Structures are given as structure tokens and as C-alpha cells.
């Protein structure tokens, strides 16, 4: 199954249709410049392991299978709303509350991950978006340099992972914008 989100309309200050090739985010968002510009390529040959960094701790991620979450098509991607009981509680100087997760994907001929590792673009990428609890909302936190913590998960084609079936099985139900 291939889902298409063409001619997407978006909310807020974003353009009706955009790509990373034609954007200078720093013109409208001063925090999105230089080392804060997305997407990035992680060059593992240049990375330095820092054993002093504490591991992050995820809490509340084991939701019961009966938990009902909203999955929607915003015309650009699929968004799953998450309860703020899902948190990143250690590893940062503050607590981050989950808000949503969304996907970036391509097609059979074009990989779709936003970011790359060693110049390899993956089939898809999932972002789990968290906001700093002290700001009270995703919108308010998004305006702050320490406001968001986004976990990125890269997907490659291979063995099926049953843990995502509860999301992927519903994609046909939301193939149209607004569903």
C-alpha cells in the first residue's frame, strides 16, 4: 500500500507545499540555523561517544492495548496523538511529555527518511515529539530552544515488526486528508 499526500495544505505559518530543498528555515525561525538545521546526516566516523551523558529514561510507554489513541491524516503525514503520561523523565535537565508521533516515508523508488546516517537515507522515519513540561503545551514549547525533544526512529525494509501493526493496520482508514 502506498499512501499519497500531495498538494498538502497545512496549518499556521507553514507553506501549502514544501520540501527541504527549497527552504531556508532560518529566515522565519531563527533557531533553525547552522547546527540546528534539519535534516542532518550523522557521520559515524566523526561521532564521539561521551560516556558521561546519562541514558534517557522513557516512562509510560507500555500503554495497554485497549488504550484508544487518535490517528489522523493532516494532508502531509500520519499523526498519532499520544498521552502526556508518556514521558522522557531522565537524561535531560527537565521532564518532557509526549505529544504525538508522525512519519516521513518515501516510495518503492525513493527513500523517505528525513535524516541520514553515513549518507544513507532509510525507507521511513518516525518522530516521537515531546515538549518540556514547564511550557505546558507543544505550541508554547516549540518557540523555546529547550522546548522540544524528538526521538527519531529509522526504518529499513526487512522483517516485519508486529509492534507497529496497531498503527499500520489503520492507515487505509485514513488515506484521505482529514480522516
- Residues with a known catalytic role: 76
Judge contact between 35 and 42, C-beta under 8 A: no
Which three-class secondary structure state does DSSP give residue 122?
Answer: coil
Instruction: Return the half-sphere exposure (C-beta side, CA atoms, 13 A cut-off) of residue 172.
Output: 3
Cβ contacts of residue 61 below 8 Å, gap of 6+?
86
Judge contact between 87 and 66, C-beta under 8 A: no
Amino acid at each position: 500500500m502506498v499512501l499519497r499526500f500531495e498538494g498538502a495544505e497545512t496549518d499556521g505559518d507553514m507553506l501549502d507545499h514544501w520540501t527541504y530543498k527549497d527552504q531556508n528555515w532560518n529566515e522565519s525561525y531563527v533557531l533553525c540555523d547552522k547546527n540546528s538545521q534539519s535534516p542532518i546526516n550523522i557521520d559515524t566516523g566523526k561521532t564521539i561517544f561521551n560516556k558521561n551523558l546519562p541514558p534517557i529514561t522513557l516512562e509510560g510507554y507500555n500503554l495497554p492495548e485497549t488504550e484508544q489513541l487518535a490517528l489522523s491524516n493532516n494532508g502531509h503525514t500520519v499523526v498519532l496523538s499520544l498521552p502526556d503520561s508518556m514521558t522522557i523523565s531522565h537524561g535531560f535537565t527537565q521532564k518532557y511529555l509526549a505529544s504525538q508521533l508522525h512519519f516521513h516515508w518515501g516510495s518503492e523508488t525513493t527513500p523517505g527518511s528525513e535524516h541520514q546516517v553515513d549518507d544513507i537515507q532509510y525507507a521511513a522515519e518516525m518522530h516521537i515529539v515531546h515538549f518540556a513540561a514547564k511550557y505546558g503545551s507543544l505550541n508554547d514549547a516549540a518557540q523555546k530552544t529547550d522546548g522540544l525533544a524528538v526521538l527519531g526512529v529509522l526504518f529499513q525494509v526487512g522483517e516485519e515488526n508486529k509492534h507497529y501493526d496497531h498503527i499500520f493496520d489503520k492507515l487505509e482508514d485514513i488515506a484521505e486528508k482529514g480522516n
